[in-house]
């Protein structure tokens, strides 16, 4: 069973460099993140082709807008020889081998050599493989919110973007249309960053459908990446990532994928 966790970095941070199954990636060329990384911008196609063609966007802007979705699109187009893939972002890691007494969705610990060794330890990958012999995929623990998935999004993001998102889901994946009310009912969202481990075939089905949704949204939205409020809690121009955090669990639900939830380790 061959699996890898791809991590998107946008600046220097504590990272277990030299580990064979945790792979650092970055969209920007020549960025100092503390070690070598896969530059997503070095290969074509990459996420920039989904963004509006009438907008001049440099690689730093693309990396900021897309974040981990740049990695997902790169995997979709360029990875063919893995059984399972995971994707996560800066300082967030799925904890596959955990103490059952730790019931919180997110565990925050200091970033140091000990915590990096915990993340990269062979027991993590061994435990992930054991789980994947029973479940289809590993996901982060759901976080409970008082509002629905839709309400969570429009709390801080443009309602027009959400409505366009649903419109494009119905066009790209019409087979999901009869389940679209999931977003109005579900209050648990696989939410805090990492995608644990997904079979490559299923992952590519998710990434392919989501990239088509994003592409369609970018074609139809008027100035989709205008930052409406500089002081907002969540940046309104980074909806690509925020929507993906909601579309992925919806995709798993629609496809009846069995999942095992693990906590997220956040390095502070």
144 strand-pairing partners: 188
Predicted confidence at residue 143, as pLDDT, reads 83
Does 232 score more than 70 pLDDT?
A: no
Does 230 score more than 90 pLDDT?
A: no
Residues 266/107, Cβ–Cβ less than 8 Å: yes
Mean pLDDT, the chain, whole residue set: 91
C-alpha–C-alpha distance, residues 233 and 156, integer Å: 7
Predicted confidence at residue 102, as pLDDT, reads 83
When mean pLDDT is compared across 24-38, 75-89, 174-188, the lowest value belongs to 24-38
163-214 confidence digits (pLDDT tens):
999 999 999 999 999 999 999 999 877 666 668 999 999 999 999 999 999 9
Among 166, 240, 178, CA closest to 207:
240
Q: How confident is the model at residue 34 (pLDDT cuts 50, 70, 90)?
A: confident
The domains of the chain are located at 3-267
Does 237 score more than 80 pLDDT?
A: yes
C-alpha–C-alpha distance, residues 105 and 190, integer Å: 10
Average pLDDT over residues 27-49: 90
Residues 139/259, Cβ–Cβ less than 8 Å: yes
Does 41 score more than 80 pLDDT?
A: yes
Does 57 score more than 80 pLDDT?
A: no
Distances, alpha carbon 204 to alpha carbons 27, 167, 261, in Å: 20, 22, 20
Predicted confidence at residue 195, as pLDDT, reads 85
DSSP state of 143: E
**Would the pTM of this model clear 0.85, i.e. be above it?**
yes
Predicted confidence at residue 146, as pLDDT, reads 86
C-alpha–C-alpha distance, residues 133 and 260, integer Å: 11
Predicted confidence at residue 233, as pLDDT, reads 66
Predicted confidence at residue 190, as pLDDT, reads 66
């Amino acid at each position: 069973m061959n699996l890898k966790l791809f991590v998107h970095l946008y600046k220097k941070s504590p990272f277990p460099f030299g580990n064979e199954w945790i792979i650092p990636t970055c969209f920007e060329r020549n960025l100092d993140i503390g070690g070598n990384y896969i530059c997503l911008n070095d290969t074509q196609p990459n996420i920039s082709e989904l963004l509006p063609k009438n907008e001049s966007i440099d690689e730093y802007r693309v990396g900021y807008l897309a974040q981990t979705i740049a990695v997902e699109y790169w995997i979709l187009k360029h990875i063919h020889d893995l059984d399972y893939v995971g994707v996560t972002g800066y300082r967030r890691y799925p904890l596959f081998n955990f103490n059952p007494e730790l019931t919180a969705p997110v565990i925050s610990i200091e970033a140091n050599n000990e915590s990096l060794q915990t993340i990269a330890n062979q027991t993590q990958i061994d435990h992930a493989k054991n789980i994947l012999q029973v479940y289809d995929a590993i996901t982060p623990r759901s976080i409970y919110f008082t509002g629905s998935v839709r309400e969570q999004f429009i709390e801080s993001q443009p309602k027009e973007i959400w409505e366009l998102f649903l419109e494009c889901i119905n066009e790209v994946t019409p087979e999901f249309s009869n389940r679209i009310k999931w977003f109005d009912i579900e209050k648990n969202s696989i939410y805090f960053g990492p995608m644990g481990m997904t079979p490559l075939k299923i992952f590519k089905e998710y990434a392919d459908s989501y990239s088509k949704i994003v592409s369609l949204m970018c074609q139809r939205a008027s100035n989709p990446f205008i930052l409406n409020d500089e002081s907002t809690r969540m940046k309104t121009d980074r909806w690509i990532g925020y929507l993906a955090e909601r579309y992925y669990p919806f995709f798993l639900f629609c496809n009846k994928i069995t999942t095992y939830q693990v906590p997220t380790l956040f390095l502070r």
